[in-house]
Chain A
Amino acid sequence: MSENTKTLEVSVWRGTQEGGAFETFSVPAQESQTVLDVVSWIQQSADPTLTYRYACRVGMCGSCAMMVNGQPRWTCRTHVSRVLDGNRLEIAPLRNLPVIKDLAADMDPFFDKWIKAGGVHRPSRTRHEPIQEVSPEEPGRVEANKAIECINCSVCYAACDTVAGNEDYLGPAALQRAWTLYNDEKVQDRGAILDAVSGSDGCLNCHTQGSCTRYCPNELDPLSAIAGLKRAVATSFFRRRA
């Protein structure tokens, strides 16, 4: 690090839900540096009171997402060189969520909506019955498989302008989870899933802007999942009346 004289100008949000301001730090630039490396350097070498959240550092746990130069990103897998604006970085807590302190967003609303959208496993068999076989080629399973790599990082939720305008909206991750369960042949009560996602806070409020799919770090496609839910809900509207 000593031979590297290049520095980054990093503005970091400091404060709580009540208010705060950006504070600028000069951080030594390094090769293959990630945004999380930058935040960790600040906390370890400049200001130990900086609050942020991370765990695995390899893109599996979904806990280190932040706004980087105005866009939601998983910071542990985001190379500084890819997002640098000149030599400047602006790092802020995730959008659309309350701030606990500094870069740590309160994830409660995100997970509360996950549950509200029906994202809790409701088994159709007891432990005394044989395990249900599921064919990997079955179309529903193929559809469900598309979203099972979601790591609950909330990047899609922070990217969603519908959430920004409608705080009750369940958001892309929770709705994508509901679509996964809807296609899971182990789930028996699909009507309950459609009921959970078709209320005034549900999938029908999506404006199809596609920021969720654009920003998902795992390259999942919540936009198509929500479109699938909309189709299923609209079809059920006629079926249930027939």
Chain B
Amino acid sequence: MLDLRLYMAQRLSAMVMAPLVLGHIAVMVYAIQGGLSTAEILGRTQGSIPWLLFYGTFVLAVSVHAAIGLRVIVHETTGLRGRGLRIFTWGTGIVLLMMGARAVAAVTML
């Protein structure tokens, strides 16, 4: 159930995600080791364009990657196809994007 366009979108989004995942893990380790409080973390991320771009890109890549991956799983396990499968793929991507964008906005916007 993957044509070339979807396949490349999933692979390219994975390539984008790979360094961002490592960066995210590094940030988590740093934040915990240094004992940063929520307020201190928000103090650094709010109003920060680099953090907005970092996590904004992350959310976008995840939305594309996960929606296509779930599309394959749903098709192969339930047999869903055609319009229903398209709606599921787009729906999953949009929901993930909205939830992610909300979270990113909450920690990077003033």
Contacts and interface: CB of A to CB of B under 8 A. Distances in A.
Interface stretch (A57-65, A180-188, A197-205): A197-205
A233 interface: yes
B65 to A, nearest CB: 15
A199 B3 CA distance: 5
B77 A198 contact: no
B25 interface: no
A88 to B, nearest CB: 32
Contacts of B75: 165-166
Nearest to B2: A204
Contacts of A204: 2-4, 7
Contacts of B7: 204, 233-234
B3 to A, nearest CB: 5
Question: What are the nearest 6 A-B pairs in CB distance?
Answer: A165-B76, A204-B7, A198-B4, A200-B3, A204-B2, A237-B8
B11 interface: yes
Contacts of B29: none
A234 B2 contact: no
Contacts of A199: 3-4
Contacts of B76: 162, 165-166
A204 B4 CA distance: 7
Contacts of A162: 76
30 contacts: A162-B76, A165-B75, A165-B76, A165-B77, A166-B1, A166-B75, A166-B76, A168-B1, A198-B3, A198-B4, A199-B3, A199-B4, A200-B1, A200-B2, A200-B3, A202-B3, A204-B2, A204-B3, A204-B4, A204-B7, A205-B1, A205-B2, A205-B72, A233-B4, A233-B7, A234-B7, A234-B8, A234-B11, A237-B4, A237-B8
Contacts of A168: 1
Interface string A202-242: 10110000000000000000000000000001100100000
Interface in B51-110: 72, 75-77
Most interface-central of A168, A199, A204, A237 (chain B CB within 10 A): A204
Nearest to B3: A200
Contacts of B11: 234
A198 B2 CA distance: 9
Interface in A143-170: 162, 165-166, 168
Interface string A72-89: 000000000000000000
A162 B72 CA distance: 11
B1 to A, nearest CB: 6
B58 to A, nearest CB: 23
Contacts of A237: 4, 8
Contacts of A202: 3
A234 B77 CA distance: 26
Interface string B1-30: 111100110010000000000000000000
A180 B24 CA distance: 43
A163 B76 CA distance: 9
Nearest to B81: A168
Most interface-central of B7, B8, B75 (chain A CB within 10 A): B7
Contacts of B3: 198-200, 202, 204
